[in-house]
Amino acid sequence: MRLIPLAALSLTLATPALAETQLERMERLSEAMQVKMFSAMLQGTDFDVASAVAWDDEMRASAECVLDAYVAESSEEDLEAVFDQMEEIIAQPAADMAAMEEQMSNFAAPLPEERAIEINRSCGMVDLQMQKMQESGLMNAMMQAQMQSQGN
């Protein structure tokens, strides 16, 4: 009989170690959002978007800077609300970019867009993402897809 309460207690104590951190959640959601968005842009191609947007240690360090700035200028609760919105958008099917833009139209950001861009730039996130898109071939694939869509 005593084993059950001890087992329950040990599971309770282990739960925080298994919980997803804000950084891990941001990584998972950012990658999923980018896969959804870029896949809609590259519809009809076989480009491996998931590999192109996968984070590395440098991206994680930059994201920690972004998280710290967002929390300092808004709140942990605002950030969690953004993550919740991202989860909802990811769960909705988007057949193309127009559908994706419609889903994003009601996105409530905790900071003004200009400030969010400034934070992402100052933390190095913009440069890292551009570099990764260039190195992975994603930038080129998007330009080719754009040219093909304009040709049709």
In Å, the largest CA–CA distance within the chain is: 73
Residue 139: predicted pLDDT:
94
- Judge whether 142 lies within some domain: yes
Q: Are 116 and 107 in contact (CB under 8 A)?
A: no
- Judge whether 3 lies within some domain: no
- Judge whether 141 lies within some domain: yes
- Judge whether 11 lies within some domain: no
Phi, psi values for residue 94, rounded to 5°: -135, 110
- Judge whether 103 lies within some domain: yes
- Judge whether 119 lies within some domain: yes
Q: Are 43 and 96 in contact (CB under 8 A)?
A: yes
Q: Are 65 and 124 in contact (CB under 8 A)?
A: yes
Q: How far is CA 35 from the centre of its chain?
A: 9
- Judge whether 100 lies within some domain: yes
What stretches of 19-75 show up as alpha helix (H) in DSSP? 22-41, 49-53, 57-73
Residue 18: predicted pLDDT:
57
Residue 95: predicted pLDDT:
67
Condensed to tens digits (0 to 9), the pLDDT of residues 122-147 reads 999 999 999 999 999 999 999 998 88
Q: Are 124 and 62 in contact (CB under 8 A)?
A: yes
Structural domains of the chain, count: 1
Amino acid at 116: A
Degrees, nearest 5: CA angle 113-115-120: 95
Low-confidence residues in the chain, pLDDT < 70: 1-18, 95, 152
The tokens of 36 are what? Answer: 């959804």
Place of tokens 């998931």: 50
Q: Are 124 and 24 in contact (CB under 8 A)?
A: no
- Judge whether 33 lies within some domain: yes
The tokens of 32 are what? Answer: 């999923």
Element (H, E) at 80: helix 76-91
Distance CA 2, CA 66 (A): 47
Domain of residue 58 covers 19-151
